[in-house]
Every structure is written in C-alpha cells, then in structure tokens.
Amino acid sequence: MILAAIDIGSNAARLLISEASVYKDGTVDFTKINLLRIPLRLGFDVFDKGFVTEEKKKKLIETLKAYKLLMNIYDVQAFKACATSAMRDAANGAKILEEIYNETGLKIEIITGQEEANIIYETHIAEKLSDNKSYLYIDVGGGSTEVTLYAHNHTIFKESFNIGTIRMLHNKVSDEQWEHMKWYIKTYARDYQPLEAIGTGGNINKIFSISKRKEGRPLPLDLLKDYYKELSYTPLEERKHLYQFRDDRADVIVPALQVYISIMRWALADEIYVPKIGLADGLIKMLYSEMMVKG
C-alpha cells in the first residue's frame, strides 16, 4: 500500500511517500520511497507581516501541484496533509487552503500545536519507549516547539510553545514566553528524574549527521553547547561553506540549538537521542491506522 503525507511547516513543505508492508505476524514496515522538501519559508512572511504574501502563496500552490503530480506517478492510494505554526498564525491561512483545494483538489488541515505533538509522538515514538523510564520528547520547528514528557508508561504532559527558529530570527519571542517555557519544563520534569531526551526536527538531525555519531547513540549536551558556540561565532556565509548547509538551514540551526540546549538544561537531561523522524512520518502512520479502522 502506497501512502503519502504532506507537511507544510514554517520553514519548508515536505512530501513523504512510503510503502506500508504487512507481514504474517501482523507487523507493519513503512519503507520510505521518496522524500521531497521545498524551503518555502512561510514563517518569514507570517511572523513579520501576519499573513502569507501573494508571492509565497503562488509558490505554495505550485509546490502542491508538483506534489500531487508525484503522488499520481507513484500511484499513491491515500494521503494526509496538514499545515502547522505559520498557517495557524496567518490571517489568510484558511482562505489560502480553500484556494489550494479549488486549484489542486488537495484537502489540507491546519492543526494545533497539541495535535502536532500528538501526531509525531503517539504514532511513532511511544511504542519504542521503555515502561520504566522517563523521556522528554522535544520537536523544534520554525514557528513552535512541541514538548512531551512520558514516564512510567504514561504521558505526563504534551505542550506546544510559540517559540520557533524563524520567530526567534525575527525577534518575535518575548522574555515572558521563554520564562513560561522554563517554568513549565522545570516544574514538570523535576519529579521524573533521571530522564532521557529525544529530539526531532531537521536541525537536530543535521547536527547528528555532522557529529558522525553512530545510529542509536545519543548526543551529549556538552557537544550541543560546543556546536552552538562554534556556529554562533561563525559568519553565515562561512557557516554554509564549512558545513555545507543550505541557505534555509544555515540561519535557523543556531536558534534551534539554543532551544534544545535550554530545554535539556531545565530538564536536567545530559544527552539527547535523535531517531530522525518527523511530522510526515507520524502522518503516514496515522493514515495507515485510519485506513485499517475503516477496513
């Protein structure tokens, strides 16, 4: 069964096409067939002006037309599409999604921060966690950060904070927002020590890649601090050259590290595991589950 997911984020729009294979013992494997990422950077419009400009809207529609064509070529049987923080905040977000539907036939849902946390966590992470340990799951995006605390086989909290890399680059995160997140993490994490951090998002994935760590090995907090210091002091153009970062990665990776480091410090987490999954992976799994229920 070929399934697809479209994730329209604040920094990029992604299309993930996967094949779901069911085995005799009932287990299901999801094999990635194609993953395409277009850096639309909608958050640069929205967090500055409050809406998506005409130019960005046209690029978004053209991107989705291309995604629809690819889904047809791959014989995708079902798809799920959602938009996150930038479209949540855009004054014209709902109107644009209506235009997209009229032009492409693709139905896209704007999801809340809580729903975003649920999709990634419940559909892809929870099944792999130990019942007798505590975990802090951190997903840093362009517009928001989703944090989930899971301990002793229970979800303690799932919270979304309007602190994201593009908002930070545009100075749209207040000291009060930082203080609230700090209070929240410290208050809820202190009773569940020791805990392990799990990080997702393109930026932590990139740090994991350049660290040359073996798959399944965690990144120490001290290493993240070293990267933060090094990248912060490296001019943007030099950063792109030295680390072969794309334009849309080179600027956001520093504020992303600031968020991961801050949350880990507040939660007293010394290391972070990076499973290299994201919202699109969660959407694929959720879609498969929905199809199984429908029969």
Band (pLDDT 50/70/90 cuts) for residue 161 is very high
What's the mean pLDDT when you consider all of the chain?
Answer: 92
Q: Are 93 and 82 in contact (CB under 8 A)?
A: no
Amino acid at 128: K
Which of 21-35, 139-153, 244-258 is predicted with the least confidence, judged by mean pLDDT?
A: 21-35
Report how far apart, in Å, the C-alpha atoms of 295 and of each of 289, 290, 291, 292 are: 10, 9, 6, 5
pLDDT at 167 over 90: yes
pLDDT at 119 over 90: no
**Per-domain residue ranges for the chain?**
2-112+280-294, 129-278
- Average of pLDDT values for 188-202? 92
For the chain, what percent of residues have pLDDT higher than 90?
Answer: 75
pLDDT at 143 over 70: yes
**Domains 2-112+280-294 and 129-278 are alike in CATH topology:** yes
Which of 19-28, 37-46, 170-179, 233-242 is predicted with the least confidence, judged by mean pLDDT?
A: 19-28
Residues 172 and 234: their CA atoms lie apart, in Å, by: 23
> What CATH class is the domain 129-278?
alpha beta
Q: Which residue has the higher pLDDT, 88 or 127?
A: 88
pLDDT at 23: 81
- Average of pLDDT values for 214-227? 93
The CATH code of domain 2-112+280-294 reads 3.30.420.40
| Surface-to-core class of residue 278, CB atoms within 10 Å of its CB (0-12 exposed, 13-18 middle, 19+ buried) | buried
Residue with tokens 């907090």: 221
- pLDDT tens digits for range 254-273: 999 999 999 999 999 999 99
pLDDT at 152 over 90: no
